[in-house]
Amino acid sequence: MNPIYLDHCATTPIHPSVYEAMKPYLTTTFGNPSSVHKAGVVAKKAINDARESMARLLHCQPEEITFTSGGTESINMALKGLAEAYPNKMRIITTKIEHQATLKTVAWLEHKGYEIVYVDVDHKGLVNLDMLEKSLNQKTLCFSIIWANNEIGTIQDLNKILTICHRHDVLVHVDAVQMIGKTDVRFDRYPIDLMTWTSHKIFGPKGIGALYVRNGIHIAPLIHGGGQEKGLRSGTENVKDIIGFSQAMTLSYLHIEEKNRHLDMLSRTLFERFQSIVDVSLIGASIGCDRIPGHLSLCFKDRDAFQLSLAFNRKSIYVSTGSACHANSLDLSHVVRALPENDLYQQGMIRLSFAHEQSVELIDEIIQRFQEI
Amino acid sequence: MKNIIHIHTKDGKTIYRGSMIHMPFKKRAIEKACIDLFNDPDPCIIHQSYAVSHFVEIMEKRYLDHPVLNLSLKDEIDTLHFLDIPDLEQLFLTVEVNS
């Protein structure tokens, strides 16, 4: 039975051209970018070229991009780094549907004396903008928001959020891990202050991510040492993965609208096929509207989502659940629990996420295997 | 298609009747499977559930691709080592197929 991978919001395979771009840096081009000889200088130039290429895509300055080990580190760096740099601002606003990297970081800051305010979301997961505006004051360090939610797929109205926060001189940190490659992220269109993203969601390697910090905003480093990445992230650079990341970014910006139309078609077709045979509901925003293209978060009536995901696995269909391990028992995900109460959600949720190269013919096979469960 | 697993004595007394996933599994077998599958001697409930699912997969492959009626489990002990059912070798298996 051929595996059907429907978990592209968890991670993606490395694109062949990304792999090709990385290869020399695994073999012949191995110099330390800090070394002042030809082998080192070649590696240094490769990193700076990669950074410049990404900056061109994002419409920002290369020095505004810092490479990290991934989304989690970038989020830690953004929030703890801001906190350290602006010690008079002890209030952070966020939501309860953030990734654990944000929630655990703000919990750590709360332990250090910060006031953390969680803005409500509606049944689709969209931020309550009135509550957001009321929560902002002169003591607010930043608002940290997940642009597109990994579990329920909801995409926030970022420009409205930015307008509100900037009206109150509050910085905005955006977790764009699920959004890069799904929209033309450009800082001239979205005046974001800090942004986190990662490589392995866009057909790049794991273990590499980035943090954008707009010029003029200060953050303190978390990692001290040799002063790489302009002192913000010491440690010998992960050259091969930076190169792969840059190539993956370039690919992700090609034909975005065309890819999104195809992804929406795939998820809509699969959802309608499920609906024709079982009682199933979509959590979050509607397909094609404020939702990650190719992303389905589904509740199957009277079917335990976690057990269903294991049954999918036995049919070689790889999906994800929002289930979490809590005190050695299975719990609903924190994202689902943060939504306004709905009995529908008690069985949990399954997430299926397509890649643009998957074809509609796959859906017949998915349905056939599902009916055998 | 739903399959009901029926484990019974020779004279038809039901020992277990239900889905594969809800069968009683030995804790030690789950722990061992977690070590075999992901080298984790202290698995969380999610990974324990994955191990159980692995047992279900073994049973599905062995018993669901053909009709099974009053199959003696005497020769299935090695396959079903993970089931926490006493005197398994003296019991019988029937798979009921509900369309």
| A314 → closest Cβ in B1, B45, B60 | B60
Per the CB < 8 Å rule, is B46 touching A323?
yes
Q: Does the pLDDT of residue A143 top 90, yes or no?
A: yes
Whole-number pLDDT of residue A325: 65
Contact at CB, A306 and B57, closer than 8 angstroms: no
Mean pLDDT score of chain A, rounded to an integer? 95
Best B46, B50, B59, B63 member to test A by mutation, with max A CBs in 10 Å, is: B46
Instruction: Please judge whether A330 and B57 are an interchain contact, meaning their C-beta atoms are less than 8 angstroms apart.
Output: no
How would residue A307 be classed by pLDDT, with cut points 50, 70 and 90? confident
How confident is residue A138, by pLDDT bands cut at 50, 70 and 90?
very high
- By residue count, chain A amounts to 373
Own/partner pairs for A310-314, CB < 8 Å, 24+ apart? A310/B21, A310/B49, A310/B50, A310/B52, A310/B53, A310/B56, A311/A373, A311/B21, A311/B53, A312/A350, A312/A369, A312/A370, A312/A373, A313/B50, A313/B53, A314/A373, A314/B53, A314/B56, A314/B57, A314/B60
Contacts of B50 in chain A (CB under 8 A): 310, 313
- Name the band, by pLDDT with cuts 50, 70 and 90, for residue A321: confident
Task: Round to whole Å and give the CA distance between A287 and A282.
Answer: 9
What's the pLDDT score for residue A92? 98
Dist CA A180 CA A147 (whole Å): 10
Q: Considering only CA atoms, which of A60, A313, A103 is closest in space to residue A192? A: A60
CA distances from A146 to A108, A122, B42 (A): 18, 15, 32
pLDDT at A329: 65
Whether the per-residue pLDDT at A324 is higher than 70: the answer is no
Tell me: the pLDDT tens digits for A157-208?
Answer: 999 999 999 999 999 999 999 999 999 999 999 999 999 999 999 999 999 9
Q: What is the CA angle A233-A236-A240, rounded to 5?
A: 105
From chain A, pick out residues whose CB is under 8 angstroms from the CB of B56: 310, 314
Of A313, A325, A372, the CB nearest to B46: A325
What would the mean pLDDT of A150-156 be, rounded to a whole number? 96
Cβ-Cβ pairs closer than 8 A, A with B, add up to: 30
The rounded radius of gyration (Å) of the Cα atoms in chain B is: 14
CB-based contact B53 A323, cutoff 8 Å: no
Asked whether A135 and A119 are in contact (CB, 8 A), the reply is yes
Q: Select the more confidently predicted residue: B24 or A333.
A: B24
Instruction: Note the pLDDT tens digit of each residue in B42-78.
Output: 888 888 999 999 999 999 999 988 888 999 999 999 9
Does residue A325 have an active-site annotation?
Answer: yes
Residue A326's pLDDT band (boundaries 50, 70, 90)? low
Report which secondary-structure segment, H or E, holds B96.
Answer: strand B92-98
Q: Is the pLDDT of residue A345 over 60?
A: yes
Whether pLDDT at A14 is above 80: yes
B19–A contact, CB cutoff 8 A: no
Flag whether pLDDT at A82 surpasses 60: yes
- Chain A contact present for B98, CB below 8 A: no
Q: In the predicted model, is pLDDT for residue B1 greater than 60?
A: no
Q: Which of A1, A310, A319 to mutate to test the interface with B (most CBs of B within 10 A)?
A: A310
pLDDT(A242) > 60: yes
| pTM reported for the whole predicted model | 0.92
